[in-house]
Amino acid sequence: METYDALLAAITPTSGATRTILDPATGTAVGEAPVHTVQDLERAVAAAEAAQPAWAALGHDARSAALLRAADAVERSAEELARLLSREQGKPLNGPNARFEVGACAAWLRVAATTVLEPETVVDDGETRAELHYRPIGVVGAIGPWNWPMMITVWQIAPALRMGNAVVVKPSEYTPLSVLALAKVLNEELPEGLLTVVSGGRDVGARLAEHPAVGKVMFTGSTATGKAIIRSSADTVKRLTLELGGNDAGIVLPDADPKAIAEGLFWGAFINTGQTCAALKRLYVHSDIYEAVCEELTTVAAAMPMGNGLDENNVLGPLQNRQQFDIVARLVEAARDSGAKILLGGNPATDQPGHFYPATLVADIDNANPLVAEEQFGPALPIIRYSTVDEAVAMANALDVGLGASVWSSDPVAAREVAARIQSGTVWINKHGAVDPRVPFGGAKQSGYGLEFGVEGLKALGVPQVING
CB–CB of 134/459 below 8 Å?
yes
Coil, helix or strand at residue 286:
strand
Task: For residues 33 and 19, give the distance between their C-alpha atoms in angstroms, rounded to a whole number.
Answer: 5
Q: Provide the residue count of the chain.
A: 469
Among candidates 150, 165, 137, which has minimal Cα distance to 107?
Answer: 150
Query: Which one-letter amino acid corresponds to residue 213?
Result: A
Helical axes 78-89 vs 98-114, angle rounded to 10° = 120
Task: For residues 183 and 469, give the distance between their C-alpha atoms in angstroms, rounded to a whole number.
Answer: 43
Diameter of the chain by CA atoms?
A: 78
- 273 DSSP 8-state letter: G
Which pairing describes strands 18-22 and 29-34: parallel, antiparallel, or unpaired?
antiparallel
CB within 8 A of 267, min separation 6: which ones? 96, 432, 433
Residue 128, judged by CB atoms within 10 A of its CB (0-12, 13-18, 19+), counts as exposed
Coil, helix or strand at residue 112:
helix
Residue 62, judged by CB atoms within 10 A of its CB (0-12, 13-18, 19+), counts as exposed
CB–CB of 348/356 below 8 Å?
yes
Task: For residues 418 and 429, give the distance between their C-alpha atoms in angstroms, rounded to a whole number.
Answer: 10
CB–CB of 427/407 below 8 Å?
yes
Task: For residues 306 and 329, give the distance between their C-alpha atoms in angstroms, rounded to a whole number.
Answer: 17
Task: For residues 294 and 284, give the distance between their C-alpha atoms in angstroms, rounded to a whole number.
Answer: 11
CB–CB of 211/142 below 8 Å?
no
Round the CA-based radius of gyration of the chain to a whole number and report it.
23
CB–CB of 197/181 below 8 Å?
no
Catalytic annotation on 277? Answer: yes
Element (H, E) at 328: helix 322-337
Choosing from 88, 243, 375, 452, the catalytic residue is: 243
Choosing from 277, 294, 296, 375, the catalytic residue is: 277
Coil, helix or strand at residue 166:
strand
Coil, helix or strand at residue 271:
helix
Active site residues: 243, 277
